[in-house]
Amino acid sequence: QKEVEQDPGPLSVPEGAIVSLNCTYSNSAFQYFMWYRQYSRKGPELLMYTYSSGNKEDGRFTAQVDKSSKYISLFIRDSQPSDSATYLCAMSRATGANNLFFGTGTRLTVIP
């Protein structure tokens, strides 16, 4: 079993829709959770990171962590064609960890 599971999609939604992206994980030692966005032929860029269970909001993006269920989500409100990208979840055991554990990524297309 992979440590981080993520549905690869692809996911297509109309412009303006609310998008829900999810990851599950098996290792209860993970404490830090991140979402990266990766455009085609580019490296991943950090969107959001969270530490504790609960919600964190940044503009149209909301990250949600449920440690009891080992489940994290990223919600995108009022989705735009420019949001079309691959979204990767990532997690880490500690602040000083040397590496992150990534999901496979979900490819999202927002149709105008």
Partner 1 sequence: GAGVSQSPSNKVTEKGKDVELRCDPISGHTALYWYRQRLGQGLEFLIYFQGNSAPDKSGLPSDRFSAERTGESVSTLTIQRTQQEDSAVYLCASSFRGVGALGGYTFGSGTRLTVV
Q: Which parts of this chain interact with partner 1 (CB under 8 A)?
A: 2, 4, 6, 8, 32, 34, 41-46, 49, 88, 90, 92-105
Distance CA 20, CA 44 (A): 19
What minimum distance in Å lies between the beta carbon of 29 and partner 1?
12
What minimum distance in Å lies between the beta carbon of 43 and partner 1?
3
For partner 1, the closer CB: 51 or 77? 51
For partner 1, the closer CB: 16 or 54? 54
Look up tokens 């990524």; give the residue.
105
Q: Would you call 61 helix, strand, or coil by DSSP?
A: strand
Output the six-digit token pair for 64. Answer: 């949600």
- Cis omega (within 30 of 0) on the bond before 10? yes
